[in-house]
């Protein structure tokens, strides 16, 4: 019987660990339950390999996944550990953005009250414009005055696409609540009572506080929404690569790696804002295609076709997840 060889350095292995490089001698092509238990245990150990992992993580699409599948894992952090690391970083970054937004709202409210007392309405408009521009940098903004209330369960009588009618000085919370209540009373688009009660509560808060609470809740839910999409992408990759010799776990590794990068992109976009936030999503899409080309080893034509299908289907799922996150933000506001 020929001796076992380490998949990382190809040295002869006797026992559980390679005597040359120290990698554990085991097969990762096994049941999902066993692998999940192992990587969860490893995820909470101290890891000094993260600095060595960062360069290929950002600038060599698919390389870490390729190395992991090939069994060369000792030099780099595990995909789950990288994902958890970016999840923590993303949480703090988005929390910082939420706090900065809250401060801007508080300043606006104070200045508006002061201007209202003095009757200086021109300064009020100028202040609102300045804060709106500042918040656009964080890619956060108050809900649009003409937003369609249909996703919340109701719409005006002239159809789901009708806009919320609102006078220039009417708070958006009051306008949305009034429109939903009128649609419910007409019976054309019945609105659940729980939705009406929630918007009545938001109206009592006032525009500034309601907007602050909704966006803070939405930013808190963003990492959870990204995590919910990890198995979705892995399943889509399994579908398009169904005839290839890859296990679901290997598609899951690819998905973890890509979503870890997506968390970084989301955090940087929220912190810096445009024009960087407009470029980074395209860079992420290119990164995905380059990664698929490297990991699955197919031609560019096939990679583009499969990548396009995966992107389209993933976007459809992402819309549902985003809608659920928005409803969750409204509920927890």
Each residue's pLDDT, cut to its tens digit, for the chain (333 residues) gives: 567 888 888 888 877 788 888 887 766 566 667 666 666 666 555 567 878 899 999 999 999 999 999 988 888 988 888 898 888 888 888 778 777 766 666 676 676 666 656 555 445 444 545 544 554 455 444 444 444 444 434 444 444 434 455 555 667 777 777 777 777 777 766 777 777 777 787 778 777 777 777 777 777 787 888 889 999 999 999 999 998 889 999 999 999 999 999 999 988 888 888 888 889 989 999 999 999 999 999 999 999 999 999 999 999 999 998 888 877 777 766
pLDDT for 219:
76
Q: Does residue 241 sit within a domain?
A: yes
Q: Does residue 258 sit within a domain?
A: yes
Residues 1 and 82 in one domain: no
Of all helices (H) and strands (E), which one includes residue 13?
A: strand 12-13
pLDDT for 145:
44
In three-state secondary structure terms, 18 is: coil
Instruction: Quote the DSSP letter at residue 17.
Output: B
pLDDT for 160:
41
Residues 304 and 230 in one domain: yes
Residues 233 and 268 in one domain: yes
First to last CA, the chain: 65
Segments forming the whole domain that contains residue 24: 1-30
pLDDT for 147:
42
Strand partners, 12: 5
In three-state secondary structure terms, 31 is: coil
Is 0.75 surpassed by the pTM of this model?
Answer: no
Residues 70 and 6 in one domain: no
Q: Does residue 282 sit within a domain?
A: yes
Residues 258 and 322 in one domain: yes
Which alpha helices (H) appear in 153-206, and where do they start and end?
Answer: 172-186, 193-205
pLDDT for 252:
95
Q: Does residue 197 sit within a domain?
A: no
Helix-strand-coil split of the chain, %, nearest 5: 70, 0, 30
Residues 43 and 15 in one domain: no
Instruction: Quote the DSSP letter at residue 105.
Output: H
Q: Does residue 313 sit within a domain?
A: yes
Q: Does residue 256 sit within a domain?
A: yes
Residues 324 and 281 in one domain: yes
Question: Is residue 105 classed exposed, middle or buried when 0-12, 13-18 and 19+ CB atoms within 10 A define those classes?
Answer: buried
In three-state secondary structure terms, 24 is: strand
Residues 325 and 262 in one domain: yes
Q: Does residue 239 sit within a domain?
A: yes
- Using CA atoms, how far residue 81 sits from 156, 164, 225, in Å, is 48, 45, 18
Residues 20 and 42 in one domain: no
Residues 17 and 42 in one domain: no
Residues 267 and 280 in one domain: yes
Residues 229 and 258 in one domain: yes
pLDDT for 55:
93
Q: Does residue 325 sit within a domain?
A: yes
The residues, any chain, with a CB within 8 Å of residue 324's CB and separated by 6 or more, are 225
The answer to whether 53 and 85 are in contact (CB under 8 A) is no
Smallest Cα–Cα separation from 96: which of 271, 318, 302? 271
pLDDT for 169:
61
Question: Is residue 92 classed exposed, middle or buried when 0-12, 13-18 and 19+ CB atoms within 10 A define those classes?
Answer: exposed
Number of separate domains in the chain: 2
């Amino acid at each position: 019987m020929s001796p076992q060889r380490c998949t990382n350095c190809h040295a002869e292995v006797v026992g559980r660990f390679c005597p040359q490089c120290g990698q554990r001698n085991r097969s990762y092509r096994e049941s999902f339950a066993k692998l999940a238990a192992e990587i969860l245990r490893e995820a909470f150990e101290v890891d000094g390999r993260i600095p060595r992992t960062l360069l290929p993580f950002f600038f060599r699409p698919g390389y870490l996944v390729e190395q992991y599948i090939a069994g060369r894992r000792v030099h780099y952090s595990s995909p789950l550990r990288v994902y958890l690391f970016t999840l923590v970083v993303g949480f703090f970054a988005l929390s910082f953005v939420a706090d900065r937004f809250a401060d801007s709202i508080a300043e606006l409210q104070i200045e508006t009250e002061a201007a209202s007392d003095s009757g200086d309405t021109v300064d009020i408009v100028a202040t609102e414009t300045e804060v709106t521009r500042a918040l656009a940098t964080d890619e956060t903004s108050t809900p649009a005055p003409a937003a369609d209330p249909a996703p919340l369960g109701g719409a005006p009588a002239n159809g789901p696409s009708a806009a919320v009618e609102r006078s220039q000085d009417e708070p958006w919370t009051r306008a949305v609540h009034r429109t939903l209540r009128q649609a419910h009373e007409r019976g054309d688009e019945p609105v659940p009572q729980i939705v009406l009660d929630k918007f009545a509560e938001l109206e009592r808060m006032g525009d500034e506080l309601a907007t602050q609470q909704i966006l803070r809740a939405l930013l808190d839910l963003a990492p959870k929404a990204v995590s919910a999409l990890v198995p979705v992408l892995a399943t889509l990759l399994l579908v398009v690569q169904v005839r290839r010799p890859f296990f679901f776990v290997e598609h899951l590794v690819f998905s973890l790696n890509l979503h870890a990068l997506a968390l970084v992109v989301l955090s940087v976009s929220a912190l810096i804002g445009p024009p960087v936030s407009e470029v980074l999503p395209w860079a992420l899409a290119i990164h995905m295609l380059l990664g698929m080309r490297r990991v699955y080893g197919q031609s560019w034509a096939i990679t583009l076709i499969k990548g396009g299908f995966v992107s389209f289907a993933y976007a459809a799922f992402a819309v549902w997840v985003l809608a659920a996150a928005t409803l969750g933000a409204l509920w927890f506001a």
